[in-house]
Amino acid sequence: MPSPSRTRAWQAALLTGALALVTTACGGGPDGAGGTQQPAGGGSSPIPDNTALITAVKPDAQLTAALPPAVAQAKVLHLASNIQSAPNNFYSSDGKTPIGYEVDLAKAIGAKLGVTVSYQDMAFGSLITSLQSGRVDLTMAAMNDTLERQQQIDFVDYFSSGITIMVRKGNPDAITGPDTLCGKNVAVVQGTSHQKFATAQSTKCTQAGKPAITVTATDSDTQNQNQLRTGRVAAILNDLPSAVYISRTAGDGKFFEVVPGQPIEGGPYGIGFTKANTKLRDAVKQALQELVADGTYGKILQAWGVEQGAVKEAAVNGGS
């Protein structure tokens, strides 16, 4: 969400995309938390069912006792999100039920705390103010934990995203990382941090005596996917969750794949809390850490195919 990975130009392109109920501002918005357009060439989304995994989470009585009195009494966490960003958070086919790896993580955290989670869908720009006004208890919307935002709210980091390279299935151009993009044609969305990175990487190529990268900037992910499918470009730069989602859904997973490796120029997504609500922040942090330790966290991310973004520690304000 508004970290510079996605821009307003990219958001405008999303409006012409095809995932129903998509709104702009987060996830696939300026933070670059992942795109929500229907992948070029169609394909159905493989939606995992983590119900049994989440149901198996046992409440931690000490953490339940450490919750703020209002939450402990209501036994409900009121969570604000901007539900539009597959596979982070989006609506199921009924148009009403939030799903995604973030949603599953929130449910598992709630189970560990002995409470349920109630979702409120709102514009991304309203998330922090709604938190500060007390309308909600926490936010979870693929929001980048940044130093600037840390001046307003606190974060518990739960995922690491960044730029990822997507190629045609089978990786015919043998692209294994940024250094192997030299001399290749690479597609990006106009005005994004992906374009900035590709331009900088091209300079590195020429400084090393290698051919420059031909950077093709378009107005939408869909255009880039079409160019990759037809071989006009060798790779697309995208954000980790979006690239994973597209590679799994486009052509039923037969069109694209993600180059393995850690996200490039990665940064954390954080669950947001008011500065005064340290009791809830610390309880959620510990609940998430327990889910990391017992393997539930990893299984949820793996089910959604985004395990590359896993964190080892639920840090507080770990962004920079």
Structural domains of the chain ordered from first start: 8-161+265-309 (3.40.190.10), 163-264 (3.40.190.10)
Cα–Cα distance for residue pair 199/204, rounded to 1 Å = 9
Cα–Cα distance for residue pair 189/6, rounded to 1 Å = 8
For β-strands 76-81 and 138-139, DSSP reports them as parallel
What is the phi-psi region of residue 182: left when phi exceeds 0, alpha when psi lies from -120 to 50, beta otherwise? Answer: beta
Residue 205 banded pLDDT, cuts 50, 70, 90: very high
Residues 102-112 have a mean pLDDT of: 98
The label of the residue with tokens 């990822």 reads 164
pLDDT at 146: 87
pLDDT at 35: 40
Q: What is the DSSP letter of 181?
A: G
Which pLDDT tens digit goes with each residue over 116-131? 999 999 988 899 999 9
Beta strands in the chain (DSSP E): 76-81, 90-91, 98-99, 116-121, 138-139, 153-168, 185-189, 214-218, 235-239, 256-258, 264-274
For β-strands 116-121 and 138-139, DSSP reports them as unpaired
Q: What is the sign of the dihedral through the CA atoms of 100, 298, 147 and 242?
A: negative
Residue 308 banded pLDDT, cuts 50, 70, 90: confident
pLDDT at 13 exceeding the cut of 80: no
Dump the DSSP string for 214-263: EEEEES-HHHHHHHHHTTSSSEEEEEHHHHHHHHHHGGGGTSEEEPPSPP
Q: How many residues does the chain have?
A: 320
Cα–Cα distance for residue pair 33/31, rounded to 1 Å = 6
The label of the residue with tokens 């705390």 reads 113
Residue 244: which residues within 8 A CB-CB, separation 6 or more? 87, 164, 258, 304, 305, 306, 308
pLDDT at 18 exceeding the cut of 60: no
pLDDT at 244 exceeding the cut of 90: no
Task: Answer with the residue of higher pLDDT: 101 or 190.
Answer: 101
Q: How far is CA 73 from CA 60, 232, 297, 299, in A?
A: 16, 59, 27, 31
- Percent of the chain exceeding pLDDT 90 equals 68
Mean pLDDT of the chain: 86
Residues 150-167 have a mean pLDDT of: 95
pLDDT at 3: 44
Instruction: Pick the closest to residue 164 from 190, 142, 197, 191 (CA basis).
Output: 197
Residue 241 banded pLDDT, cuts 50, 70, 90: confident
Instruction: Pick the closest to residue 33 from 304, 320, 269, 307 (CA basis).
Output: 269
Q: What is the pTM of this model?
A: 0.74
Task: Answer with the residue of higher pLDDT: 28 or 215.
Answer: 215
What is the phi-psi region of residue 25: left when phi exceeds 0, alpha when psi lies from -120 to 50, beta otherwise? Answer: left
